[in-house]
């Protein structure tokens, strides 16, 4: 899943190992990104956002900023078959300190999500061509954050399966 | 006795032109990798650009067992010199021949 309004070069996507690339605003909407008939991923800043949208049929998953929210929300997310979406663009920053903070936060999120047996999807959420990652890289990054090989492969499929 | 070095080869594509013959470009990539991996791991990995496949594609060789850390570190490289860059790892293989044929198939070179 990428956030590139100009779209993706399909040949490049094939080389990177993807059958399909989901584009934010076209295939998937982020909350407040427009059309509500699309499948939507919600940026959940607090519990209210989860409670409000978790039962919606169009919502496929949630992006979290904080692992303390996730504990409270996971039960509901799990019951309703929604995904916990990890955007790896957050750990791909130039600034070393920001990157390390992001990695720590993402590891905690993933650990908590896996402990509660939530379904997790990793996406690049690339905003331009430079931020794109191949399937192999996404899988390696998921393993680096704490998933085992089997889990990391499954995490690549999840969002494509539901959208 | 012939000592055989076991290597893994990685097919790498960059989002912008990358000239592996340019020592400065290679130096920038190597120091970025060293920053992510640390000197110790970097020395163990023995990262080398083996051959160029096109304007923005090359094959890198690394010691077997180090491919995962090199792959991760390449993913984190977002800038070389003053330019933003994206580095994609397309395939890994145990032989260069396999990657060269893969390269022909993908890029038609």
Query: Is residue A31 very low, low, confident or very high in pLDDT (cuts 50, 70, 90)?
Result: low
* Closest A-chain CA to B107: A15
What local confidence, expressed as pLDDT, does residue B109 receive?
Answer: 60
Distance CA(B64)–CA(A114), nearest Å, equals 30
A5 inside domain:
no
What local confidence, expressed as pLDDT, does residue A56 receive?
Answer: 82
Secondary structure (DSSP) of A32-51: TSS-TTSEEEEEESSHHHHH
pLDDT, tens only, A48-79: 777 778 888 888 888 887 766 777 788 888 88
Look up residue A89 and give its two tokens: 């663009």
Mutate to test the interface with B, among A97, A133, A136 (most CBs of B within 10 A): A136
Distance CA(A33)–CA(A41), nearest Å, equals 10
- pLDDT over threshold 60, residue B32: yes
For residues B44-72, average pLDDT: 91
Higher pLDDT, A22 or A71: A22
A2 inside domain:
no
CA dihedral in degrees (B19, B20, B25, B27; nearest 10)? 180
Angstrom CA distances, A32 to A5, A29, A36, A103, A136, stand at: 15, 8, 9, 26, 31
A119 inside domain:
yes
Number of Cβ within 10 Å of residue B56's Cβ equals 18
What pairs with residue A23 in β-bridges?
Answer: A2
* Closest A-chain CA to B68: A140
CA dihedral in degrees (A145, A93, A33, A119; nearest 10)? 0
> Do B92 and A131 lie within an 8 Å CB cutoff?
no
How far B89 CA sits from the closest chain A CA (Å)? 6
Phi, psi (rounded to 5 degrees) for A2: -125, 160
SS3 content of chain A, % helix, strand, coil (to 5): 50, 20, 35
Assign residue A109 the CATH number of its domain: 3.20.20.140
What is the span of the domain harbouring residue A105? 10-162
What local confidence, expressed as pLDDT, does residue A8 receive?
Answer: 83
* Closest B-chain CA to A94: B78
Q: How many CA atoms lie within 13 A of A113 on its CB side?
A: 30
What pairs with residue B62 in β-bridges?
Answer: B8
Phi, psi (rounded to 5 degrees) for A89: -60, -25
> Do B72 and A136 lie within an 8 Å CB cutoff?
no
Q: Which residues contact B83 (CB under 8 A, 6 or more apart)?
A: B16
- pLDDT over threshold 80, residue B94: yes
Assess if CATH 3.40.50.970 describes domain B7-107.
no
> Do A144 and B72 lie within an 8 Å CB cutoff?
yes
Residues in chain B closer than 8 A to A140 (CB atoms): 68, 71-72, 75
Per-domain boundaries in chain B: 7-107
- pLDDT over threshold 80, residue A163: no
For residues A28-43, average pLDDT: 65
Distance CA(B23)–CA(B20), nearest Å, equals 7
For residues A102-112, average pLDDT: 90
> Do A141 and B75 lie within an 8 Å CB cutoff?
yes
For residues A110-132, average pLDDT: 89
Average pLDDT taken over every residue of chain A: 83
Work out how many domains chain A is built from and give that number.
1
> Do B75 and A94 lie within an 8 Å CB cutoff?
no
């Amino acid at each position: 899943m990428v956030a590139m309004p100009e779209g993706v070069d399909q040949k490049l996507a094939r080389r990177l190992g993807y059958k399909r690339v989901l584009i934010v605003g076209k295939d998937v909407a982020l909350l407040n990104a427009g059309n509500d008939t699309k499948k939507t991923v919600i940026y959940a800043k607090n519990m209210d956002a989860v409670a409000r949208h978790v039962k919606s049929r169009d919502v496929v998953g949630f992006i979290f900023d904080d692992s303390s929210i996730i504990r409270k929300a996971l039960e509901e997310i799990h019951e309703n078959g929604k995904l916990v979406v990890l955007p790896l663009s957050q750990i791909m920053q130039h600034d070393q300190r920001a990157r390390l903070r992001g990695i720590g936060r993402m590891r905690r999120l993933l650990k908590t999500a896996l402990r509660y047996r939530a379904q997790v999807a990793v996406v690049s959420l690339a905003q331009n061509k430079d931020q794109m990652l191949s399937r192999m890289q996404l899988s390696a990054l998921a393993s680096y954050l704490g998933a085992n090989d089997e889990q990391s492969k499954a995490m690549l499929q999840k969002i494509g399966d539901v959208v | 006795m012939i000592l055989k070095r076991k290597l893994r080869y990685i097919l790498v594509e960059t989002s912008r032109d990358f000239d592996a013959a340019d020592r400065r470009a290679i130096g920038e990539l190597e120091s970025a990798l060293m920053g992510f991996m640390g000197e110790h791991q970097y020395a163990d990995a023995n990262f080398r650009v083996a051959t160029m496949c096109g304007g923005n594609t090359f094959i890198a060789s690394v010691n077997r067992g180090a491919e995962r850390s090199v792959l991760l570190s390449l993913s984190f490289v977002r800038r070389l010199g003053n330019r933003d860059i994206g580095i994609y790892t397309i395939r890994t293989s145990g032989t260069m021949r396999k990657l060269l044929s893969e390269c022909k198939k993908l890029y038609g070179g």
